Structure 1
Amino acid sequence: MKHNFLFSVALMMFLLIPEIMSQPEAALSDSTKRPLMNIVDYLKSKIEQERQELVMTEGEIIRYMDGLPPFSIYKDNFFITGIPLNKGINRETADAKFQLSIRHRLTSSRLPFDTFLYLTYTQKSFWDIYRDSAPFRDSNYNPGIGLGRYIIVDNRLTGAAFLHLEHESNGRDSLESRSTNWIGFSGKYFLTSNLAVGFKITIPFFTGKENSDLYDYRGTGYFNADLKSSNNKWWLSGTFSLIKSVKTINLKLTASYKISDRFNQYIFGELYSGTGDSLLDYKRKDLQLRAGICIKPDFYNLF
């Protein structure tokens, strides 16, 4: 069947070429050239699709993913500084924000249902670098452990799903203590090779008494999209969560420009609008624009 298809396409091109070549060059309009280009493009895509499906099976895809380095970047690792857009700009309101985030896969996909076990750790800090003595206003510590499973459809790796247990706190006591725990279910799915969407649903428990209403300001459902340009230079992301009512959301938009083809470093900008970005000041309404540098995980990193 495959050979008959290729033979038919080749025969069609063979019959069309003499007819087109017999006409003056000026007469070769775009409408005449386009059918040939469409045939060539379709043929190339068909061959590439069949090659990928023949080369990789589901077992081979899992073995390949399990063979990747187990220790890597988890979320964005960045250092950014900026200003508020909803209040006066001064040394008290301008600040810096940085994040360190790593993950480690503990097992291969040999657990029940082809799942794997992993650890994550993220630390996010808010630094008042423009004030005298440059104090840290708040630091949030977020370790976690989870189970992941790759989503493979028709011998194609299309995404992954995760079940995880996480803790977050700011390491303080008394009235400034903030802490929470949650069980989360999340997923990531590639709509195209340049567009991925994801979600995260959390079920909180053992939330600290000083921040018992935290999720009224953070929300329990998060949805995000990532778009990469075809030349791999630009990476645009958006994340939002519903809070209190469907009329109120927390929104984070980021834009990244890759500095070098050899290194995974980006010029990075972030716009945050909402509440709950910092544990200490989770009730405060922020509209903050910051920019700096970021080391990002690979676009196709699945956890």
Structure 2
Amino acid sequence: MRSRYLILFIVFFSIKVNSQIIEEKKNFRAADSLLKENSFSVHRDNYFLTGVPINTDITRNTADVKYQVSFKLRLTSKPLFGSFFPYLLYTQKAFWDIYASSKPFSEINFNPGAAIVRPFYLKGGRLTYAAISFEHESNGRDSIYSRTWNMLAFSLKSQVSPRWTVGIRGWVPLVDKDDNPGLTQYVGYGEASASYLIQPGRWSADVLFRKGSGLINYGSLQTQLNWRPYRNENYYVTLQWFVGYTESLIDYKEHKSMIRLGFTIKPENMGIF
């Protein structure tokens, strides 16, 4: 009888230890998805695109170049409380009227921030990032041309299948209403994103939808088709279409529809948001 209980105890203990080992390995793999990147890495897409409007006349003043530089810095190689990793973030988006006679920059938007990111697995082994960030966005100008707001944002991004990655993000906007009347209506309170690998290593598609506070009048949609000419190089030929509001802060009340073509450098792995 004692030997039977001893065998049962050994079996129960081994099952428990094995389950703990599996869970520890799973948690390690989730954290390792961030640690295998360099501490300084690509945050959002870095791109250089040129294009024309499709909802108004095409002229030297309506065609432009849009480019974005975006990077992140992981501050520690070990997680902090709650298995969160701290990050510093920076994104800069510029609109360059390169076809106009004097080739001015019509707008530059600066978006620094800080975030804490928690990697984990959902049921079925789906890698997921939960993030809390505080960000500032402005165009660095003063007087009537000043556009600025802050946000406290919460996001989830998950690789739901080998080809699909989806994300959802909500924020609490903090806006100076005197300088930016009605800006909250246009930037809204959240966005949803999706990426699909049409042909892994070659073709992919991205969608980003931002909902304004109006029922149907505000918000934006940005879609991209990306082609990777060389599998060993991390750059893409990108066709991008933007329609809606707040593509730039200076013209946040202006509805735009632009189609652009150019080059993109993407994060090596699934972006944190």
* Normalised TM-score (structure 1): 0.78
Query: How many angstroms does 1:206 deviate by?
Result: 4.2
Query: How many angstroms does 1:154 deviate by?
Result: 6.0
Tell me whether 66-75 or 82-91 shows the greater mean CA deviation.
66-75
The residue aligned with 1:94 is 63
CA distance, structure 2, for counterparts of residue 208 and residue 225 of structure 1: 32
**Count of residue correspondences:** 251
The residue aligned with 2:242 is 272
State which structure, 1 or 2, has the greater radius of gyration over its C-alpha atoms.
1
136, 140, 162: which one pairs with 1:171?
Answer: 140
1:239 aligns with 2:229: no
CA RMSD after TM alignment: 2.0
2:126, 2:161 within 8 Å by CA — same for their partners in 1?
A: no
Structure 1 runs not aligned, ≥5 long = 1-52
List aligned pairs for 1:1-303, cutoff 5 A. Answer: 57-62=25-30, 64-68=32-36, 69-153=38-122, 156=125, 158-207=127-176, 209-248=178-217, 249-303=219-273
Query: How many angstroms does 1:66 deviate by?
Result: 4.9
Give CA deviations for 1:260-288 in whole Å, capped at 9, x if unaligned.
11110100111001011101111111011
1:70, 1:106 within 8 Å by CA — same for their partners in 2?
A: yes
1:76, 1:101 within 8 Å by CA — same for their partners in 2?
A: yes
Identity of aligned residues (%): 33
Q: Secondary structure at the match of 2:28?
A: helix
Seen in structure 2, the aligned counterparts of structure 1 residues 59 and 242 have a Cα distance that, compared at 3 Å, is closer
Give CA deviations for 1:235-257 in whole Å, capped at 9, x if unaligned.
10111122233324411111110
Structure 2 runs not aligned, ≥5 long = 1-20
Greater helix proportion: 1
Query: How many angstroms does 1:226 deviate by?
Result: 0.4
CA distance, structure 2, for counterparts of residue 299 and residue 148 of structure 1: 15
Seen in structure 2, the aligned counterparts of structure 1 residues 155 and 226 have a Cα distance that, compared at 3 Å, is closer
CA distance, structure 2, for counterparts of residue 102 and residue 257 of structure 1: 22
Query: How many angstroms does 1:156 deviate by?
Result: 3.2
CA distance, structure 1, for counterparts of residue 252 and residue 31 of structure 2: 42
Give CA deviations for 1:128-166 in whole Å, capped at 9, x if unaligned.
001111000000000000111002246935211000000
CA distance, structure 1, for counterparts of residue 28 and residue 42 of structure 2: 24
Question: 4+ residue runs of structure 1 moved beyond 6 angstroms?
Answer: 53-56
- Give the partner amino acid of 2:222: K
1:188, 1:198 within 8 Å by CA — same for their partners in 2?
A: yes
Query: How many angstroms does 1:54 deviate by?
Result: 6.5
